[in-house]
Structure 1
Amino acid sequence: MCALGAAVCFGTATVLQAVAARTAGAGEGGGDAALLLRALRQWRYLAGLALDGLGFLLQIAALRSVPIYAVGAALAASLAVTAVVAARLLRVRLSGLEWGAIGVVCAGLALLGLASGTEGDRTGPGWLRYAMVAAAVGVLLLGGIGGRLSGRARALLLGLGAGCGFGVVEVAVRLIDSLRPADLLTDPAAYALLLGGGAAFLLLTSALQRGSVTTATAGLVIGETIGPAAVGVVWLGDRTREGMTGVAALGFAVAVAGALLLARFGEAPAPEGATGGT
């Protein structure tokens, strides 16, 4: 429930912020900073930020309760929430394929819900915390390489890097044993969480500013689901219910595939009439 609640929060926040950004930019000049300041004066944008914060807390709660693969698939499903809310608030027309993709995401999550066990009871090898720090640094290096490219290659690489950064956050949350300030200061996982999350936001923002939203979001979904899920299964002890490994694998694949079909909703959806499909 926490993972699905986080998906609802993130998906709804995207649409609220899109509405606020459009209103703030209508007939006004100025650069990105001026647009942001105007948006911050609108209740929809502030509500979207509040939902993002609530979604992050729900994500943390979910990661401490169920396997990473289930949480990752549920977060990818926030694109389905964005699509449904956008269809109502922004009057975006969804194609038959996109409505079908929403159904596919729901079916995949239902399968995962049936098959998922509790979170793994392993703390992981000692080197895994330092590996997460190295992975976060690698995300920054990937961003530097992607920033020199152009077109779809740029969007895909930056989106994939952002997804890997969010994946580092997912794993780091599981690796943190204590929330006492003194313990956090000496825990490499805490630094991996901060560095990975910050790098992910930077890369995703850059990808969406000057690249294909659909391509960047597809890379994001792949990066934040597959790698973290593998880490959870191999090193953290994430398992399924007895005899339901195949069902969980199918549910994960179906949910991620449905999210990829909805990749154009990774940012503010296009206005009605701009495009009817992915």
Structure 2
Amino acid sequence: MLAAGLWWAVLGAALNTASGILQSDATRFVRPGRPVVRQPRYLAGLTLDGLGWLCAVAALQHLPVVLVQSVLACGVVLTVYAARFRYAVVLRRRDHVAAVACTAGLALVASATGTDAPFAVSGWTVAALASAAVLLAAAVAGTWDAGRGWPLGVLTGLAFGGTALVVRADHVDDAGTLPFPLAVALVAAYGITGVAARTRALELTGVARLAAIVSVTQTMVPGAAGILALGDPVRPGWGWALAAGVLLAASGVLVLAGSPGLRPPPTALRGRRKPRPGGVRRPCRRDHRGPSVQA
């Protein structure tokens, strides 16, 4: 079960990496009247995001929330190295160290998670999940025109983490406390909120910073909620390893957020002839019909 869950989580991280590259490419072609949400690459990336989410759903059938979210967050390592080949960027030494830190953190998280079945979901947990979905939607609406990208990034991570909690809760709920139609409605609410918040955040902040904020937020908060509210198992005496692993992986993600591999690629206009200041073309000093003339 552990191997199958890890396979789905890693596949989800790979799909998210491809999505990130496509959406980063889409920012090169933004023009007045053609925002990022209308770019074909952005829409293709959004499709891959959906497939990656389905892989995460499959992984959550076997693994705790904190482990699945940690694997997905460390997908930023794949993104950095993919950008190295895609855009021929030169990575820093600290980027390689951060990649090792992410890998080591994941190993600690995987070692610390237990294999016991979680306990049933309580009615209070269901009420908390429903209330959080409403509060997150209201918070996104309230910060939509605030002009800052990082609060929307935090809300994006919380919303995407909320979908993971609902999926995990629906899987472990044998008592029927969380009916399937309610689970679908909550997943849709969290998902729509997350996509809307991320789309708006992309217009206000860089892709790298947004990826770091979302990755760390959707790992730490839902991971802790999965352990405390859903009873995701932790091996006895390994709580320190779990905390150290999450912090190590999150630190690596934050360092990689400043990597050249996550910076926006060159714009599509680069290499074209730039217009002169003022848009006025300098007159030609030689008339094609005769000798040189005075400008």
TM (norm. structure 1) is 0.80
Alignment of 1:181-196 (within 5 A): 184-185=180-181, 187=182, 189-196=183-190
Report matched runs for 1:26-41 at 5 Å: 31-32=34-35, 35-37=38-40, 39=41
Q: CA deviation at 1:264?
A: 5.0
Conserved 8 A contact 2:208-2:263 = no
Indicate the percent of aligned positions where both proteins have the same amino acid.
Answer: 29
Q: Does 1:106 align with 2:103?
A: yes
> How many residues align structurally?
254
Provide the residue aligned with 2:224 in structure 1: 230
More helix as a share of residues: 1
**Root-mean-square deviation (CA), in Å?**
2.8
Higher alpha-carbon Rg: 2
Aligned-pair distance for 1:115? 2.1
Q: CA deviation at 1:149?
A: 2.2
Q: Helix, strand or coil: the match of 1:15?
A: helix
CA distance in structure 2 between the aligned counterparts of 1:228 and 1:33, rounded to whole angstroms: 29
Structure 2 match to 1:69: 66
Q: In the TM superposition, what is the alpha-carbon distance from 1:106 to its structure 2 partner?
A: 0.9
Residues 131-210 of structure 1 aligned to structure 2 (within 5 Å): 131-150=128-147, 154-177=148-171, 184-185=180-181, 187=182, 189-210=183-204
Shift of 1:268: 6.5
Q: Secondary structure at the match of 1:236?
A: coil
Contact 1:155-1:215 within 8 A present in 2 as well: no
Aligned partners of 2:48 and 2:258: how far apart in 1?
A: 21
Structure 2: segments with no counterpart, 5+ residues: 1-5, 174-178, 268-295
What is the CA deviation profile of residues 200-219 of structure 1, one whole-angstrom value per residue up to 9, with x for unaligned ones? Answer: 11111111112244443333
- Equivalent pair of 2:116/2:233 in contact (CA under 8 Å): yes
Assess if the C-alpha contact under 8 Å between 1:169 and 1:196 holds in 2: yes
Aligned match of 1:239: 233
What secondary structure is seen at the aligned counterpart in 2 of 1:4?
Answer: helix
SS at match of 1:92: coil
Match of 1:211 in 2: 205
1:271 aligns with 2:268: no
Residue 15 of structure 2 aligns with an amino acid whose one-letter code is C
Distance 1:212 1:19 in 2: 13
Kindly report structure 1 stretches of 4+ aligned residues shifted beyond 6 Å: none
Distance in 1 (CA, whole Å) between partners of 2:263 and 2:99 is: 15
Gaps of 5+ in 1: 274-278
Q: Structure 2 CA distance, aligned partners of 1:239 and 1:195? A: 27
Aligned amino acid, residue 166 of structure 2 = A
Which amino acid is the alignment partner of residue 202 of structure 2? L
What's the TM-score, normalizing by structure 2? 0.76
The one-letter code of the counterpart of 2:195 is F
Q: Which residue of 2 aligns with 1:96?
A: 93
